[in-house]
Amino acid sequence: MPNKKNSYVLDGHSVDHVRNRNETKAVQILNEVLSEFKDFDHCQLCIEDIYGLTINQLPVRYIQVGGLNLKKGISDDEIRKIARESIQRVIEKPSHSIPGK
């Protein structure tokens, strides 16, 4: 059984920093673009939905290991576009039926 710390070891190589880079970037950009959406309710559920939607849409190529691929990976502008679309989707169709509840 792999322990929790080593759960992102792939074929003997840790890919934890790659995962973190991906997630950190998404959080950073979401924080940046969320203020553009005045009708967002800022509830926990919607934030989790937006984060999940954004992370899931980041192209696989971004997660490739190795400096070369990471440098050629998705641009901040592309992540921003995905983030904005995710926010818009959750605002229009939140998991809870009544906005803000």
Q: Which is nearer to Zn ion, 42 or 71 (CB)?
A: 42
List the one residue from 16, 23, 41, 78 that touches Zn ion (CB under 5 A).
41
Q: Give CA 47 to chain center in angstroms.
A: 11
Amino acid at residue number 90: V
Regarding 18 and contact with Zn ion (CB under 5 A), the answer is no
The token pair that represents 74 in the structure block: 């998705």
Residue from the set 15, 43, 63, 70 that interacts with Zn ion by CB under 5 A: 43
H/E stretch holding 66: none
* CB nearer to Zn ion: pick between 24 and 95: 95
Cβ burial of 34 (10 Å; 0-12, 13-18, 19+) is middle
Which one of 1-9, 46-54, 55-63, 65-73 is the stretch in contact with Zn ion (CB under 5 A)?
46-54
Taking CA 18 as the corner, what is the angle to CA 13 and CA 24, rounded to the nearest 5 degrees?
A: 150
From the list 33, 46, 50, 58, which residue makes contact with Zn ion (rule: CB under 5 A)? 46
Cα–Cα distance for residue pair 35/15, rounded to 1 Å:
32
Q: Which residue, 47 or 63, has its beta carbon nearer to Zn ion?
A: 47
**Residues forming the site for Zn ion (CB under 5 A):** 41, 43, 46, 94
